[in-house]
Amino acid sequence: MRKFALFFLIFGLFAQQEITIKIKGGVPAIRIAVPDFVRKVKTERGEMSALELEDTFKSDLSFSRVFDPLSPSLLSLVKNRNPEKPDLKAWESVGATVVFVGKVEEKDGKLRFSGKLYDTRTGNFILGKSYYGDEKFSRLMAHRMGDELLKFFGQSPIFTSKIAFISDRDGNRELYIMDYDGANQIRLTYTKGMEMLPAWSHDGEKIAYTSYRRGTPELYVRYIYEGKDKLIATGGSNITPDFSSDDNLLLYSSSLPGNPEIYIYNFRTERKRRITFSHAADLSPKWSPDGRKILFTSDRSGYPQIYIMDKDGSNVRRITFQGSYNASPCWAPDGDRIIYVSRIEGKFNIYLFYLSTSEVIKLSSGFAMNENPCFSPDGRHIVFSSNRSGKYQIYVMDYDGKNLRQLTQMGNNLMPAWSKIKYRR
């Protein structure tokens, strides 16, 4: 009988040649000028909050891969005699397509953040937003403004998204969440067991995960704002959950039949249905963005490979053929790309696979263990865990492997999952 741990704990002995393919260039980013905000604050706390808000907003735009903010040297070429009424021709002359003018005001411990966006070529005012709230919400106001700019240009919002992960910083592995940029790391569980493999619901209010709180790997759903857990599956090993787009169904793998098979749990009926019957270890199921297909990992060919099947378990076909270990798949929001982990020459790295062309692209490198990749809600970024610094930490990189950022520092941090944000153009 094959054990589910085969995929997570046992690494094969077969080496193979490493393959690297160059990624193609993307659409040019929008050149945006963001001059220093107008700050009308009276207290030291207000000044600190206003600066944090401005820094967060500018960092969001730089991260996005949608915007290309002008450098400080270019910003310095334009003299803002009246910052609230920008000289759009001057900004156009230094390469800006749009200009964002921000203002932060303080009153009675509250901040008002307002922003206006202008088109430098036409001179038109094109967008205006304002947020008001406690100073402690300065980062959130910045994130929301950034998301509004993304939506205006037809892009999915990302800055208010969250990342769930597992950390042992407090002694045992518990469930945590943080902002997309690593800020506001918050512990959610206190079970004194071992938690693993979180997955977000699409409404952002629930996280499914595996817990050893009662000694065996059981599947739970945490209702974040209620602070409550619901037991979904017990008996055998119940792991690797994934919510459907309407949050009514939950994919997961269970070894209750004797070997890991894939099940679907229905939240309305509270019933579960088995959809694989392969006598192999079937793990890590993931819904396609349209809900019609399911990605999963199986060793039915002898070694772990990535497969796709229809949502009812029919029409199974293998999609990875390079290498003897391919696992932990994740679907991109566009439905054409997947990322997964592959072991080549003893190294575990992250690869990108195009379903339409079967192109394979290597995204990470080195001798570290790079694991559990997951796409951002807009498909432009990837979060993953790696022990490249000695301990396991959470990292984010762009879809092409560039702009690596480390998000966590304390303890070992593993198994990240990026939240979804529902947005339709």
Q: Domain containing 327: what range? A: 6-19+163-418
* Two tokens, residue 41: 């604050």
The radius of gyration of the chain from alpha carbons, rounded to an integer in Å, stands at 23
- For residue 40, the cross-strand partners are 105
Establish if 27 belongs to a structural domain: no
Q: Tell me, what's the pLDDT at 53?
A: 97
Looking at the domain assignment, is residue 171 inside a domain? yes
Task: Say how far apart CA 130 and CA 114 lie, in whole Å.
Answer: 4
Residues 231 and 326 reside in one and the same domain: yes
Backbone angles phi, psi at 66, to 5 degrees: -100, -40
How many C-alpha atoms does 168 have within 13 Å on its Cβ side?
13
Residue 314 forms part of a structural domain: yes
Interatomic CA distance for residues 241 and 239, integer angstroms? 6
pLDDT greater than 50 at residue 2: no
- Lowest mean pLDDT of 2-6, 50-54, 172-176, 182-186, name the range: 2-6
Query: Which of 64 and 192 is assigned the larger pLDDT?
Result: 64
Please indicate, yes or no, whether residues 175 and 114 belong to a single structural domain of this protein.
no
The arithmetic mean of pLDDT across residues 70-95, rounded, is: 90
pLDDT confidence of 45, banded at 50, 70, 90? very high
Tell me the CATH number at 192.
2.120.10.30
198 and 332, same domain (yes or no): yes
* Rounded (to 5) percent helix, strand, coil in the chain: 10, 40, 45
Phi, psi of 160 (to 5 degrees): -95, 10
Of 129, 152, 175, the domain-final residue: 152
For residue 297, count other CB atoms closer than 10 A to its CB.
26
* CA separation, residue 113 to residues 38, 88, 123, 126, 377 (Å): 10, 22, 23, 17, 25
**Are 235 and 145 in the same domain?**
no
Q: Does one domain contain both 298 and 179?
A: yes
For 230, the token pair is 């619901």
Distance CA 120, CA 171 (A): 54
Beta strands in 180-260 (DSSP E): 186-187, 195-200, 206-211, 218-223, 228-233, 238-243, 249-254
Residues 378 and 333 in one domain: yes
Percent of the chain clearing pLDDT 90 (strictly above): 85
CATH number of the domain residue 77 falls in: 3.40.50.10070
Local structure of 91: helix, strand or coil: helix
pLDDT, residue 6, reads 36
Inside any domain, residue 366:
yes
Q: Does residue 258 share a domain with residue 113?
A: no
Mean pLDDT on 360-374: 92
Whether residue 382 has pLDDT greater than 80:
yes
Q: How confident is the model at residue 108 (pLDDT cuts 50, 70, 90)?
A: confident
pLDDT at 16 over 50: no
pLDDT tops 80 at residue 80: no
Least confident of 41-45, 82-86, 326-330: 82-86
Domains: count for the chain: 2
- Residue 321 counted as domain residue: yes
- Say how many Å lie between the first and final Cα of the chain, rounded: 48
Give every CB contact of residue 242 below 8 A, 6+ residues apart in sequence.
Answer: 199, 208, 250, 251, 252, 285, 286, 287
Q: Say yes or no: 172 and 63 in one domain.
A: no
Specify whether 93 is located in the same domain as 188. no
| Contact indicator for 167, 183 with CB cutoff of 8 Å | no
Residues facing residue 354 across a β-bridge? 337
Of 118, 152, 186, the one marking the end of a domain is 152
Q: What is the pLDDT of residues 318-347, one digit of tens each?
A: 999 988 899 999 999 999 999 999 998 788
For residue 25, tell me if it sits in a domain.
no
pTM over 0.75: yes
* pLDDT at site 23: 37
pLDDT of residue 211: 98
Average pLDDT, the chain: 91
Identify the CA nearest to 59 among candidates 49, 69, 50: 69
Name the residue among 397, 293, 421 with its Cα closest to residue 339: 397
Whether 13 has a pLDDT exceeding 90, the answer reads no
318 lies in the same domain as 184: yes
Instruction: With respect to residue 158, please indicate whether it lies within any of the assigned structural domains.
Output: no
387 assigned to some structural domain: yes
**pLDDT digits 0-9 by tens, 170-222:** 999 999 999 999 999 999 999 988 999 999 999 999 999 999 999 999 999 99
Whether the pLDDT of residue 34 is over 90: the answer is yes
pLDDT of residue 422: 61
Mean pLDDT value of segment 366-391: 94
**Shared domain check, 274 and 223:** yes
Residues 118, 124, 128, CA angle at the centre, nearest 5°?
50
Tokens matching residue 215: 């000694």
392-399: average pLDDT: 97
90, 123, 152 - which closes a domain: 152
* pLDDT 10s digits, 117-127: 999 999 999 99
pLDDT tens digits for range 250-288: 999 999 989 999 999 999 999 999 999 999 999 999 999
Residues 147 and 189 in one domain: no
